[in-house]
Amino acid sequence: MMMAHNVNNINTMAQQQMNDNRVRVSVRGWQKGTVQDLLNFVSKNTRISIQDANVEGPLLIGYVNTRDDANRLLKWNGARFAGSSLKFEILDQGGSTSNTVVFLRSCLFKRYDAQNKMLNLSALHSDPELVSKGLFSSLSTQSKLFAAMLKLASKEPQLIVESVNLSDNQFKDVTAVTTLAQTFPKLKNLCLANNQISKFRSLEIWKNKFRELRELLMTNNPIVNENLYRTEMIRLFPKLVILDNVVVRDTAKLDSIYNLPVKIQQFFFESNDLGPSSTDFVTNFLNVWDGDRSQLLGLYTPQSQFSISVDSTIPPTTVRDADTAPSFGHYLSQSRNICKLSSDKSIKQRLAMGPEAINELFKTIPKTKHHLQDRAHDYSMEALAFPALNGFVITLHGFFEETGKPESDKKGNQTNSKHRRYNHGHSAPSSFKLGTKSFDRTWIIIPMNNTVIVASDMLTIRAYSCGAWIPDEQITPPVNSNVGQTPPPVNNGQPPVISSVNATPLGVHHMPQQPQQPIQLAPTLQLPPDVQMNMNNIQLELLNKLHLETKLNAEYTYMLAEQSGWNYENAVKSFQSSVNNIPREAFVPF
Amino acid sequence: MNSNSNNNSQYHLIDIFVKKVLAHLDEQDPNKLMNFLQLFQSSKNMPPSPTVSKVVYNSMPFADPSIFLTMWSQQVVQTQHIISALDFHVIPTGASNTIICNVNCKVRFDESGRDKMGQDSVIPMGPSGAKRMNNNRPLWGSYFGVSLQLCLDDRIFRNDINGVITSLNYKIVYKPEDSLIKIN
């Protein structure tokens, strides 16, 4: 963890990692041009660069960055260069253990069909290459071989596998491939045909594992003759639709049972103008909140109310990035969680009314940093009109980092003496540790003379977890906060003023830009490689976002983006205005 | 009657009311839908109603609470909600007061593959194969996290719960990866 402080180390490691992944390739039949001409030709046409090139006899030998690049290069065999045709080859490196790994890896890639997202591991025992390497000398090596190949597969993010073929492997049970469930938990199709599996018990190990498995092929296994075969397979795989080429579940019914009828969205604004104004409000409010909270007090009237409540529920460990050991020490003494309080007196005391009391309560909770601008995906918001007061109810869900201890304790004690006061054995100092928290905050605001009044402000603090509204392809790792050790300096600059015109709104208009990272496109957005290669990350990200928003297929998404001058907002507008005229085939079948 | 003072029975009434709302959501019997609808202002249960309650579920608005409740009872499997945090403010809004409740709870779904009516998606095989196990016990999955905001009319302090919910905003805030239920 400490290594992260040294940027040079990371670069060195990244370099090392890159070198480790490099693949040695050779080119034949290039002699009618110069080496430089050849390299230019290759890079221009294939968009792959061959590095550290050397001439060895009739061959030009060099390196490409990934196995993928190398495989793509092979497809250019026969390309005409300076009057003769080129021949590309992948050269395996020397070394003993790593040699086996390199060899298995190349077997794995040979058996992977990217077009169909299928990994074909059928009949490994009769694979001439594997046999010649002596990898089938005994049953235990066979077992190890599958385990090794699956392990290698799990380390290759570019292997997107929806189907696995394990037919003709002489399996008596699935022991050799149990780890398939860890390697590909979202597998959709599995073929185990032509094996000797005979007992249900051997498959029991996969119960509750392949939760997305749609099709299973087990023909030519003794097990299919068992009376309870169909019932058992249906029980083991809850989303199984096709068993041995026979439909066993009604897809429409299955989908309606396991999919909520409403897909979760990041935002809801009751009217169009409510979007920009409420995003402006929360952005500005939280900027000031993170800087100097006392500057917010002008928004609260003597009738305004503020309270905090702690939801100490620990999210299940299967929630992404869930903090399963959260510390709420700084909040508990102020928490107005009515479910947990038995004394009416504290319920009354913990409601702050009027700027003075609110300010006191503000000071009792840790200093914070919200990330509305740089991590807009992690926030979700709803804004509704509140006609009774001509105002709005705005609810924001998201996370913040705790960057410093509270300014003061509610009871006027020193932060240190507080430990003693509440330390009854269970409330160790670790419960005052600073970290990252998730929150839900609801404001009732009333616009007034170019500014707003906060009539009500309720804040729930809970353990950090990844937001449910974030689609898988947009998930970024959580902020690594070691704030306890090194609190970053609190922003002393002039905090922005509420309702300032030049505030940056978050969310809908905000395009997160991470040019350093390769863009992960949605699996349903299938751009032709030559189109994709000619686009920059910002364009790709825009396409991806547009695709997710409109559900248009790659061709139409591209057309829409191009016609709108690569402007997301314009594209969405023009999509919305013409959605009824777009042909059905323009949409991907989701 | 002074509904503006924070007295003991107020906390109690709010607590009971919110738990009642969650219990309605967990109701398995679609015939009891009207009991829940009664808490909302809906064109269905108050025909000449000037306003209908706002319902927003996972950022999707519903034109009428009855549409949401019908969808909930027919297209969502059985649920189990457990309240984990509750706070509320009484906002003076003229003639009557508005209560805003900020609720956090966790919810789990019946993952047995059956809907609220006990029907599953398995295609019956042969005339005798249609027989199914009569065990309709739910198989609860892992918990999801929920943030819920309720705006209520302060008539609930006077034991009147007809149409007291003026808005309900329900949002799932975290999801377990091992659930069979897909929300996006």
**CATH assignment of the domain containing A579:** 1.10.8.10
pLDDT value of residue B87: 97
Quick one: closest CA in B to A233, which residue? Answer: B122
Start-end of H helices in A251-311: 251-258, 274-291
Same domain for A116 and A166? Answer: yes
Domain presence at residue A522: no
Minimum distance, in Å, between the CA of residue A240 and any CA atom of chain B:
10
B184 CB-side CA count, 13 A: 23
Q: Which residues contact A408 (CB under 8 A, 6 or more apart)?
A: A360, A363, A364
Quick one: closest CA in A to B113, which residue? Answer: A257
* pLDDT tens column, A245-258: 999 999 999 999 99
User: Residue B88 and residue B6: Cα distance in Å, rounded?
Assistant: 11
Bin A140: left if φ > 0, else alpha if -120 < ψ < 50, else beta. alpha
Which of B17, B59, B80 would best serve as a mutation to test chain A binding (most A beta carbons within 10 A)?
A: B59
Which residue among B11, B60, B104 places its CB closest to the CB of A262? B60
- Average pLDDT across chain A, whole number: 82
pLDDT value of residue A504: 35
Same domain for A51 and A72? Answer: yes
Minimum distance, in Å, between the CA of residue A304 and any CA atom of chain B:
9
Residue A416 has pLDDT above 90, yes or no: no
> Region B78-100: what's the mean pLDDT?
93
Instruction: Give the end of a domain, one of A197, A222, A256.
Output: A256
pLDDT value of residue B139: 93
CATH of the domain at A57: 3.30.70.330
- Verify whether the Cβ–Cβ distance B89 to A397 is below 8 Å: no
pLDDT value of residue A589: 72
pLDDT value of residue A91: 78
- Average pLDDT across chain B, whole number: 88
Domain presence at residue A469: no
CATH of the domain at A396: 3.10.450.50
User: Residue A45 and residue A325: Cα distance in Å, rounded?
Assistant: 53
- b/e code A213-232 from CB counts within 10 Å (16+ = b): bbbbbbeebebbeeeebbbb
Is residue A148 a contact partner of residue A128, using CB atoms and an 8 Å limit? no
Is residue A495 a contact partner of residue A276, using CB atoms and an 8 Å limit? no
Domain presence at residue A75: yes
Same domain for A42 and A82? Answer: yes
- Model confidence at A380, pLDDT cuts 50, 70, 90, reads very high
Instruction: Give the end of a domain, one of A256, A290, A315.
Output: A256
Which of A159-163, A200-204, A433-437, B18-22 shows the highest mean pLDDT? B18-22
pLDDT value of residue A490: 39
- Model confidence at A23, pLDDT cuts 50, 70, 90, reads confident
Domain presence at residue A506: no
* pLDDT tens column, A116-166: 999 999 988 888 887 777 666 665 677 778 888 888 888 888 888 999 999
Q: What number of C-beta contacts closer than 8 Å exist between A and B?
A: 219
Quick one: closest CA in B to A317, which residue? Answer: B176
User: Residue A191 and residue A65: Cα distance in Å, rounded?
Assistant: 33
pLDDT value of residue B95: 76
Same domain for A234 and A250? Answer: yes
Residue A186 has pLDDT above 60, yes or no: yes
Same domain for A33 and A99? Answer: no
Alpha carbon B47 to chain centroid distance?
22
- Verify whether the Cβ–Cβ distance B56 to A460 is below 8 Å: no
Same domain for A109 and A247? Answer: yes
- Verify whether the Cβ–Cβ distance A344 to B8 is below 8 Å: yes
- Model confidence at A576, pLDDT cuts 50, 70, 90, reads confident
- Model confidence at A355, pLDDT cuts 50, 70, 90, reads very high
Residue A493 has pLDDT above 70, yes or no: no
Domain presence at residue A496: no
User: Residue A121 and residue A163: Cα distance in Å, rounded?
Assistant: 10
pLDDT value of residue A353: 96
* pLDDT tens column, A31-43: 888 888 899 999 8
Which residue among A254, A266, A316 places its CB closest to the CB of B142? A316
pLDDT value of residue A26: 87
pLDDT value of residue A540: 82
pLDDT value of residue A51: 85
Same domain for A82 and A105? Answer: no
Residue A492 has pLDDT above 60, yes or no: no
Same domain for A230 and A134? Answer: yes
* pLDDT tens column, A549-573: 888 888 888 888 877 777 788 888 8
- Verify whether the Cβ–Cβ distance A234 to B122 is below 8 Å: yes
- For A34, the token pair is 């110069």
pLDDT value of residue A47: 87
The domains located in chain B, with CATH, are: 1-41+49-101+147-170 (3.10.450.50)
Residue B133 has pLDDT above 60, yes or no: no
Using a CB-CB cut-off of 8 Å, the residues of chain A touching B107 are: none
Is residue A397 a contact partner of residue A282, using CB atoms and an 8 Å limit? no
pLDDT value of residue A500: 36
Which residue among A338, A348, A393 places its CB closest to the CB of B87? A338
- Verify whether the Cβ–Cβ distance A337 to B114 is below 8 Å: no
* pLDDT tens column, A41-66: 998 888 888 888 888 778 888 888 88
pLDDT value of residue A77: 87
User: Residue A222 and residue A216: Cα distance in Å, rounded?
Assistant: 15
Residue A512 has pLDDT above 70, yes or no: no
User: Residue A573 and residue A566: Cα distance in Å, rounded?
Assistant: 12
Domain presence at residue A551: yes
Residue A335 has pLDDT above 80, yes or no: yes
- Verify whether the Cβ–Cβ distance A319 to B106 is below 8 Å: no
CATH of the domain at A225: 3.80.10.10
Is residue A146 a contact partner of residue A178, using CB atoms and an 8 Å limit? no
Residue A507 has pLDDT above 60, yes or no: no
Structural domains counted in chain A: 4
Same domain for A121 and A78? Answer: no
For the ranges A339-348, A496-505, B119-128, which has the lowest average pLDDT? A496-505
**Opening angle at CA A113, ends A163 and A207, nearest 5:** 15
pLDDT value of residue B129: 46
Share of chain B above pLDDT 90, in %: 68
- Verify whether the Cβ–Cβ distance B174 to A309 is below 8 Å: no
Instruction: Give the end of a domain, one of A460, A480, A501.
Output: A460
For the ranges A372-381, A465-474, B18-27, B62-71, which has the lowest average pLDDT? A465-474
Domain presence at residue A479: no
> Region A320-343: what's the mean pLDDT?
92
The residue range of the domain holding A132 is 94-256
Bin A168: left if φ > 0, else alpha if -120 < ψ < 50, else beta. left
State the burial class of residue A375 (Cβ atoms within 10 Å of its Cβ: 0-12, 13-18, 19+). Answer: middle
Same domain for A68 and A164? Answer: no
Q: Which residues pair with A443 in a beta bridge?
A: A394, A457
> What is the residue-wise DSSP string for A489-529?
PP--S-PPPTT-TTPPP-GGG-----TTSPP---TT----H
Which residue among B59, B75, B85 places its CB closest to the CB of A311? B85
pLDDT value of residue A515: 33
Quick one: closest CA in A to B101, which residue? Answer: A458
Same domain for A214 and A302? Answer: no
pLDDT value of residue A583: 78
User: Looking at per-residue confidence, does A153 or A431 come out higher?
Assistant: A153
Strands of the B79-93 sheet, one edge to the other: B60-62, B54-57, B165-174, B144-153, B96-109, B79-93
Domain presence at residue A467: no
- Verify whether the Cβ–Cβ distance A261 to B75 is below 8 Å: yes
Same domain for A242 and A362? Answer: no
Q: Which residues pair with A402 in a beta bridge?
A: A368
pLDDT value of residue A514: 29
For the ranges A8-22, A23-37, A251-265, A362-376, which has the lowest average pLDDT? A8-22
> Region A70-98: what's the mean pLDDT?
78
> Region B117-126: what's the mean pLDDT?
86
